[in-house]
Structure 1
Amino acid sequence: MARRPIIMIHGYSDQGKSFHTWVDRLSQLGYDATRIHVCSYETLTNEVTIADIAEGFDRALRERIGLNGDEEFDAIVHSTGMLVIRSWLTVFARRQKRLKHLIGLAPASFGSPLAHKGRSWLGGIFKGRKQFGPDFLEAGDLVLDGLELGSRFTWDLAHKDLLGEAPFYGADKDTPYVFTFCGTQAYGGIKKLINEPGTDGTVRWAGCALNTRKIVMDLTKFREDQERIAITGWSNVDIPLIPVDGADHGSILQNPSAELVSLVHAALSVESGPELALWYEEAARKTETVKERLAPWQQFVIRVTDERGDAITDYYIQLEGKRSGGSIEEIQQFDVDVHPYSSDPSLRNFHVDLSVIEPDTLESLSLRLIASSGSPLVAYHGFDDESGDELQVYDVEGTWHAVIDLSGLLTDAQVKFFYPFTTTLVELRLNREPLPLVGPNKVCWFDKD
């Protein structure tokens, strides 16, 4: 069987030549090097977005390597390259049938904790453009904005390809077969200064795989409304993280192990749903002990809006729970590592080590929310699970307190709140109303005759 062309897409602040080792390894396995095409793109300029790169990628496919509009190909992407290819895929449905295999090497599927650092002046010194000119020390602000944890770009992209009703990445030939790998080791040497736990030095284990679900807590609805808390199922086929022992974000590209190359070679040979399932069974068997050594991190990306869809930026969230023989307590580990998206703080990323939370020991779980309008004229409010009178649980400054019971997500066999090595999206919706909530309000009135 003739092999399809392979497209390789690098990450932020990198070049196509970084794939040199992978081209050599695949050539040694019998792949035709003339059918392996390495893509380069511009990131270190402040005017280009990830969506722009995706459009440029589409034109380059046609004009540079001559792939026509329906010719099939495979892709191996590193880091930001995953966002580029996903952005390209979501523009036209027919593109799903063109891309047959998608191999993610340390993919930044939900961004990177380094992105917001790169936007600082220090980031420009170490990662920015070094050539003197009008764009000297540009670090690619718009690309980094999309790469920032909790960004609106990754939030919207997930709704297009990970949370739709129909599978975007399924087990049949009409959608790509997807495989995600990430190293288990952070950087050594001077680069260790930027390391964070639960990462390969640049991307998070919990933010690589495309296993994502969303929980909507619509507090504008009454407690009795069954759609008040809605949870999406897995719309795509299971796409778990495959850990690569001893690799970091750079070495997975520049010095891949023989086992990783073998797994990728086998992945590129998958041509059916049963073969996909067998590949994942074999990969899980080979990496079982490696994954067991990893701390089970999970990401939550939370967004709070009002009933109009407008952002609520001033809020506080904490989980509370009760363990056997104890009383209700704050689960402090939940908000130890929180990153508000700088362009819109209604979006926040929570990185949680589940081995510290120990969710299996929890008998109850609730989410405490405090939202403030910052004004005595208007307030946010809704229907929570604790207050007896929703119209009275705000203070004179328009700050509202609420508790939402999530205990059912601890015992449900099909849907769980805690799920390691995944990213869970949570959207909370509140009402925004003039104060006071009953009687004449302070925002609008009729003058007396």
Structure 2
Amino acid sequence: MLVIIHGWSDTYRSFERLGKRLIADGIMPNVKHVRLGDYVTLDDDVTFDDLSYALQAAWKKERLPTAPRSVDIVIHSTGGLVIRHWMITFFKPETNPINRLLMLAPANFGSPLAHKGRSFFGRVVKGFKSSRLFHTGTHILKGLELASPFSWDLAQQDRFGSEVWYGPGRVLCTVLVGTSGYTGIAAAANEKGTDGTVRVSTAHLNPLLVRFDFATDPQKPKLSLEDAKGLTAFARIPNENHSTIALKDNGPKNALTLGLIKDALQVTDETFPAFVNRLETFSDTARTNSSSNSHTQAYQNTVVRLTDDMDAFVTDYFLEIFAKDKLFKKVDNRLTRVVQEEIFEKVHVYSDNSAYRSLLFNTTVLNEKVVTLGLPLFVSLTAMPDISQTKTVGYSTFGYDDIGSIKLTSDRLQKLFHPDRTVLIDIKIHREQTEKVFKIFGLS
């Protein structure tokens, strides 16, 4: 059986063509039922928890299969977050009913349009589609926003948890995402490195978890890296945008798209590793062929979360990547300018908690102007309140040397920065207190 689940501000009707095409082209010849999941995303009161529990209730009501690995699922956009949340809420890896999971342009780590959807413009334009006038699905969009705690926590469970959810013997998950933006008036939504709605890098479901420990010894910060557990497949597809990859708006636009969809829905445990490698080669070629266009160049979505050693969020901080001279004593202003102007694209601060931030880096330019030349970069952090100013509590983080800086060698840069990927960086710093905060006086 195949289940298709749509995205935010959409309905099942948009995917009837996809379902019929999958059957007509023999892509899913053994499917007896194609069920199009419909759910409410434009209601301000609806949360991802509501969607997961409602999906579970609908699943039971329709008596859909619940045996392990008995259902194939195709999702689009927000549907990726919905199905992953449902999966880890009601099942374990060994009881999960999902066999193959095809994600078309999923917003696994958010969309740069989500916070705009909650603006007045979003309420006027998108809100009219809702049965409740001027609602745009506030809670859903908060989860869809770049650097959201929801997408961070979800990844901690299904990508970095104690159990393996993806790969042979588990869910055979394939992510396909386009690299072209919209045309016409909708082109106003286009941003570099996106399909018009989601970033190519935020669609990818193979993140890296990085931990920076500035708390134990601020002058000698520690760095550790953790790969996601399991295996997922990923491909960037030229000429497709957020709609056409799901066969909407006269899609697909790439002659290879349907073939990749077919392969993703017919792959087996035995053939999956080779399929993953084939898609990696496909994506490498696509990146090379489009490396001269800033929109289709490779980018990395880097999500930072900053806390202190009391496990409190630090919401006022500045993270900087810079270069030093050959003796590593002074800042290399020329190369630092290249990093700031050509490699670092933009930052988005999560609206409800500024400890979470999304930084976008151009990995094509980084590789060309830094990595291939064997040059290192450095990371420094400034956080407020500054204890030297408060004289009571705060952080000793002002300046390049107060907190120390982590040297990123060429080899380390290649591990930390990878095209079309999300990296989650968990930083912890030390909070200090001076003697002025508490004094004990004896009786004279």
TM-score by length of 2: 0.87
Change (3 A) 1:183 1:157: same
Equivalents in 1 of 2:381, 2:179: separation in Å? 35
Q: Please name the residue that 2:365 is paired with.
A: 356
One-letter identity of the residue aligned with 2:395:
Y
2:78 to 69, 77, 80: 80
Instruction: Give how far 1:280 is off.
Output: 3.0
Equivalents in 2 of 1:378, 1:128: separation in Å? 45
Q: Please name the residue that 1:245 is paired with.
A: 238
Residues 106, 252 of structure 1: 8 Å contact kept? yes
In terms of mean alpha carbon deviation, does 54-63 or 98-107 score higher?
Answer: 54-63
Change (3 A) 1:40 1:22: same
Q: Please name the residue that 1:20 is paired with.
A: 16
1:210 to 186, 205, 209: 205
Q: Please name the residue that 2:309 is paired with.
A: 307
Residues 321, 362 of structure 1: 8 Å contact kept? no
Indicate yes or no: 2:104 matched with 1:102: no
Equivalents in 2 of 1:177, 1:70: separation in Å? 13
Change (3 A) 1:311 1:210: same
Structure 1 portions without partners, runs of 5+ = 388-392, 394-401, 436-440
1:32-431 to structure 2, matched below 5 A, reads: 34-68=32-66, 70=68, 72-91=70-89, 92-94=91-93, 97-130=96-129, 135-170=132-167, 172-173=168-169, 175-222=170-217, 228-237=222-231, 239-240=233-234, 242-253=235-246, 254=248, 255-256=251-252, 257-273=254-270, 275-286=271-282, 288-292=284-288, 293=290, 294-322=296-324, 328-329=332-333, 330=336, 331-333=339-341, 335-357=344-366, 358-360=369-371, 361-373=373-385, 376=390, 377-381=392-396, 387=401, 393=402, 402-408=403-409, 410-412=410-412, 416-431=415-430
Equivalents in 2 of 1:336, 1:403: separation in Å? 25
Change (3 A) 1:386 1:267: same
In terms of mean alpha carbon deviation, does 368-377 or 310-319 score higher?
Answer: 368-377
Instruction: Give how far 1:136 is off.
Output: 1.5
Instruction: Give how far 1:370 is off.
Output: 0.5
Q: Secondary structure at the match of 2:65?
A: coil
Structure 2 portions without partners, runs of 5+ = 291-295
Equivalents in 1 of 2:72, 2:399: separation in Å? 49
Q: Secondary structure at the match of 1:90?
A: helix
Change (3 A) 1:169 1:32: closer
Instruction: Give how far 1:346 is off.
Output: 0.3
Equivalents in 2 of 1:65, 1:197: separation in Å? 43
Q: Secondary structure at the match of 1:406?
A: strand
One-letter identity of the residue aligned with 2:62:
R
One-letter identity of the residue aligned with 1:276:
F
Equivalents in 2 of 1:434, 1:362: separation in Å? 41
Residues 183, 248 of structure 1: 8 Å contact kept? yes
1:443 to 401, 414, 437: 437
Equivalents in 2 of 1:71, 1:417: separation in Å? 34
Q: Secondary structure at the match of 1:17?
A: helix
Change (3 A) 1:313 1:362: farther
Instruction: Give how far 1:96 is off.
Output: 5.9
One-letter identity of the residue aligned with 2:154:
L
Q: Alignment RMSD, CA only?
A: 2.6
Equivalents in 1 of 2:193, 2:166: separation in Å? 26
Change (3 A) 1:233 1:288: closer
Instruction: Give how far 1:23 is off.
Output: 1.0
Instruction: Give how far 1:169 is off.
Output: 1.1
Q: Please name the residue that 1:390 is paired with.
A: none
Change (3 A) 1:185 1:206: same
Residues 150, 347 of structure 1: 8 Å contact kept? yes
Residues 298, 422 of structure 1: 8 Å contact kept? yes
Equivalents in 2 of 1:247, 1:373: separation in Å? 46
Equivalents in 2 of 1:105, 1:130: separation in Å? 23
Instruction: Give how far 1:245 is off.
Output: 2.0
Residues 75, 101 of structure 1: 8 Å contact kept? yes
Change (3 A) 1:345 1:82: same
Equivalents in 2 of 1:94, 1:54: separation in Å? 17
Instruction: Give how far 1:102 is off.
Output: 0.8
Change (3 A) 1:362 1:163: same
* Superimposed CA distance per residue, residues 131-152 of structure 1 (whole angstroms, 9 cap, x where no aligned partner): 67xx320111000000000000
Equivalents in 2 of 1:283, 1:407: separation in Å? 29
**Percent of residue pairs identical:** 29
Residues 69, 171 of structure 2: 8 Å contact kept? no
Q: Please name the residue that 2:293 is paired with.
A: none
Instruction: Give how far 1:371 is off.
Output: 0.3
Aligned length: 417
Instruction: Give how far 1:153 is off.
Output: 0.2
Residues 96, 176 of structure 1: 8 Å contact kept? no
Equivalents in 1 of 2:204, 2:50: separation in Å? 24
One-letter identity of the residue aligned with 1:404:
S
Change (3 A) 1:83 1:321: same
Residues 112, 198 of structure 2: 8 Å contact kept? yes
Residues 111, 207 of structure 1: 8 Å contact kept? yes
* Superimposed CA distance per residue, residues 76-131 of structure 1 (whole angstroms, 9 cap, x where no aligned partner): 00000000011112123146642111101001010100000000111111111446
